[in-house]
Amino acid sequence: MFNLSFSLFGFFLYFLLSFNEKSANRAAIESLIAFIAFFVVSYIIRWMAGYALAVKATESPAEHKVESHAEDPANEVIQNLQDHPASIEDTEKVTEYVKHLLKEGS
């Protein structure tokens, strides 16, 4: 309905503006071409708007939970950290442990 309304608006606008300068037949034919052009443009605009809204609706929120898969232990760790965030003391302990492991590996 929007496409049709927009196209009719374009048809009448072009017809009224060109009627004084051209013959009625020529103005009607060119207005029909304007009708088709307005219809195509409105269809493309509606398609782009619908696509943009569909993409926006399918975007995941900033905080989403990772699905855990049995074959990937990293996902289990991530899921556990999301469910139970670590305290500052725990983070410092892990940091020291990783530093210790890195020094042993060198």
Task: Please give the Cα distance from 7 to 42 (Å, whole number).
Answer: 8
Going residue by residue through the chain, which has 106 residues, state the pLDDT in tens, using 9 for 90 and above.
888 888 999 899 889 888 888 888 898 899 999 999 999 999 999 999 888 888 877 765 554 554 545 567 777 777 777 787 778 887 788 888 888 888 887 6
* pTM recorded for the entire structure: 0.48
Task: Please give the Cα distance from 66 to 58 (Å, whole number).
Answer: 16
User: Which alpha helices (DSSP H) does the chain contain, by range?
Assistant: 2-18, 24-58, 73-83, 88-105
Give the burial class of 10: count Cβ atoms within 10 A of its Cβ; 0-12 exposed, 13-18 middle, 19 or more buried.
buried
